[in-house]
Amino acid sequence: MDRKTIIALIISIGVIAIDQWSKFWVKTSMYLGQEYKIAGNWFYIHFTENNGMAFGMEFAGEYGKLFLTSFRVVAVFGILYYLIYLLRRKETHSGLIVCVALIFAGALGNIVDSVFYGIWFNDSYHQIASFMPEAGGYSSLMYGKVVDMLYFPLTSGTYPDWFPVVGGDSYMFFRPVFNIADTAISTGVISVAVFQSKFYPKQEEEKDELSERKQPT
């Protein structure tokens, strides 16, 4: 097993383990809406659940939930296939391996919630959930809710009255509540976008050559 494969395994297993541990702890230690202040007024552990995408976004109700979960399952296999493809290429940049491993691990972490949490746990409304309750879970396979808990309300205020459209409205940054898996996905995607010239040097060289050819002599 080469160094890049070991890196990918450590990152994938580490992220999934931390993500699932944090979700299990929140689910079996807190009720929905409960929060703990961690640092000042800018970092909380705030328990919430969502049916949809990253950062609490949702999509088209019950059928949308089934579609989204199914899409996630297919997507994670696609990401895994791409990660294996990159690992087989000797020239693949180690940084790209790290980024794709983060994206894969994050996607798989949220899939576990979506696929299994509905049958693994009972609901968390005004109560702390139990793992594998005798009465059954709060939903069925593929209809689980993603557990979110990281909340960073760094700053808040009111837009000036002269500001277009939202003038006079209140704002808060950063409002969405998210989890470790979301963080891994976002870190991987943003890093690929920022460092793509290093990760895909041949493609950048081809673009430069094509641009030079198009320039008039």
Structure token digits, residue 208: 């430069």
Close Cβ partners of 43 (under 8 Å, ≥ 6 residues apart): 37, 151, 152
| Contact criterion met (CB below 8 Å) for 49 and 124 | yes
Element (H, E) at 117: helix 94-120
Residue with tokens 């996630």: 72
* Total number of residues shown for the chain: 217
What is the C-alpha separation between 78 and 80, in angstroms, rounded? 5
- What positions carry a catalytic annotation? 148, 182
